Amino acid sequence: MAAAVNWWLWLFLALAAIAGVGCIVALVGRARREPACPRCGHLRTPSAPETDPCVECGMRPKSGAERRTWRRRRRAPVLAFVAGLVCLVCTFVAVRPYITPWLRRTFLPPWKTEWSGMAAGHRVRIELDTTNEIDRRVVVTAPTGDVVLRLNAFRPEVGAGGSVNSTLPVDDSPGFGGDVDGDGAPDLVIRDPNIGSGGGGTTFIYRLDPNGATPTYVGEATMLRPTTDGKGYELVAGDRAFSYRWTSNAGSPRPIVVLRPVGGQWRISKDAMRVNAPDAQAVAAASEAIRAAAEANGDAYFGPLLKVVVGRLYAGDAVGARTFLHEHWRGDAASLQAFEREFSGAFRSSPWAAEVREFSASETENLWP
């Protein structure tokens, strides 16, 4: 594609150069020296005798006294116009992909409002970047000025249930001025589908000040959804602490973390987390896959092994997680201890490690201290 673009670019530039030369030649014409009166400079007829009087001033020059001056014979003006037009068109076609962004940045406003609404006294706008017509941002108006909450988003959605692509949220609806974390303060929920693996996106929560102060960042997760009892909302996230460490991206375990508001803060829900524990069928399938793995390495081995170990750990069964690890480990005791230390380091990097460790009732401190 790049080679094709360069070929067309040079073609149109060459046509523009040829047309430009033709335009100059047509306008300027051909120059030659012709006889002129030595007094007034009036051009004389080339075929007239040298001593004939000047028809302009009447002077009769002496032989050899006349002077010569440059005179240009101009070409047809229609040809000059056509050549100039072709030059302009070819030049525009060649440079248009390069000057269009500059023209937009220079002469158009950089951001165009696509949608706006009021949330708890705050004007919320979704704006499109006019320089590329792809990126968007979410802007909230505060007394101190506009505050950009999300920048370079692909297709942001606002509110717990509505978006700019479906149902527009109304003021005081959940996540658009309505409280979603139970602290009594209005909240603004922004979902950015452009962030996250597989297009899942990320949901951001901001607390709005009824007095109009700058919004406060509360937290983020993969999604915000109503609880099963319909009495509130919960955040669902995939923990990436174990990604790319022993497996590829596709084989990396991402245990589900479910958070619910407690006293205005999002905390892990033990009951919701335990529901996600691997069942007997999943454990049996993982055991079979581990035995079938040709080598004790890569996705074929570590993928199913970590799926059960991490799944049990994040469901509150720390003892069962370590038991499964020891039963299916291929290697000596030294390699197992080394892996447990690496696993502990990965687990400590999780933002929810302390809460998971708290409700998992771990008796194996060397695995997740």
Q: HEC profile for 59-124? A: CCCCCCCCEEEEEEECCCHHHHHHHHHHHHHHHHHHHHHHHHHHHHHHHCCCEEEEEEEEECCEEE
Looking at 238, 270, 288, the residue that finishes a domain is 238
What pLDDT does 196 receive? 45
Query: Are 97 and 160 part of one and the same domain?
Result: no
Q: Do the domain assignments include residue 90? A: yes
- Mean per-residue pLDDT for 250-259? 88
Q: Do the domain assignments include residue 52? A: no
What pLDDT does 230 receive? 77
User: Residue 11: pLDDT band by 50, 70, 90 thresholds?
Assistant: low
Q: What is the pTM of this model?
A: 0.63
Looking at 59, 92, 107, the residue that finishes a domain is 107
Query: Are 84 and 148 part of one and the same domain?
Result: no
Closest CA to 175 of 166, 163, 7: 163
Q: Do the domain assignments include residue 330? A: yes
What pLDDT does 212 receive? 66
Mind listing the pLDDT tens digit for each residue in 142-171?
A: 777 788 888 777 778 888 764 444 556 777
Pairwise CA distance, residues 297 & 299, whole Å: 7
Domain range holding 287? 280-359
Q: Do the domain assignments include residue 54? A: no
Query: Are 2 and 118 part of one and the same domain?
Result: no
What pLDDT does 286 receive? 93
- Mean per-residue pLDDT for 200-229? 83
- The count of structural domains within the chain is 3
Tokens of 133: 């017509």
- Mean per-residue pLDDT for 313-332? 90
Q: Do the domain assignments include residue 252? A: no
Lowest mean pLDDT among 75-84, 191-200, 359-368: 359-368
Q: Do the domain assignments include residue 60? A: no
User: Residue 197: pLDDT band by 50, 70, 90 thresholds?
Assistant: very low
Looking at 85, 107, 129, the residue that finishes a domain is 107
Q: Which helix (H) or strand (E) holds 353?
A: helix 353-359
Lowest mean pLDDT among 1-15, 46-60, 180-194: 1-15
Q: In three state form, how does the secondary structure of 142-194 look? A: ECCEEEEEEEEECCCEECCCCCCCCCCCCCCEECEEECCCCCCCCEEEEEECC
Contact of 186 with 120, CB cutoff 8 Å: yes
Query: Are 116 and 229 part of one and the same domain?
Result: yes
Query: Are 142 and 231 part of one and the same domain?
Result: yes
Query: Are 122 and 8 part of one and the same domain?
Result: no
CA atoms within 13 A on the CB side of 174: 14
DSSP 8-class letter at 343? H
Query: Are 165 and 221 part of one and the same domain?
Result: yes
Query: Are 74 and 153 part of one and the same domain?
Result: no
Pairwise CA distance, residues 350 & 4, whole Å: 48
On average, the pLDDT of the chain sits at: 78
Query: Are 103 and 119 part of one and the same domain?
Result: no
Cα-Cα-Cα-Cα dihedral of 180, 185, 186, 191, to 10°? Answer: -50
Query: Are 203 and 312 part of one and the same domain?
Result: no
Query: Are 125 and 228 part of one and the same domain?
Result: yes
Query: Are 288 and 340 part of one and the same domain?
Result: yes
Q: Do the domain assignments include residue 224? A: yes
Mind listing the pLDDT tens digit for each residue in 34-92?
A: 677 777 767 666 666 766 777 778 777 666 555 554 444 555 566 666 767 777 777 77
Contact of 242 with 305, CB cutoff 8 Å: no
What pLDDT does 276 receive? 82
Q: Do the domain assignments include residue 266? A: no
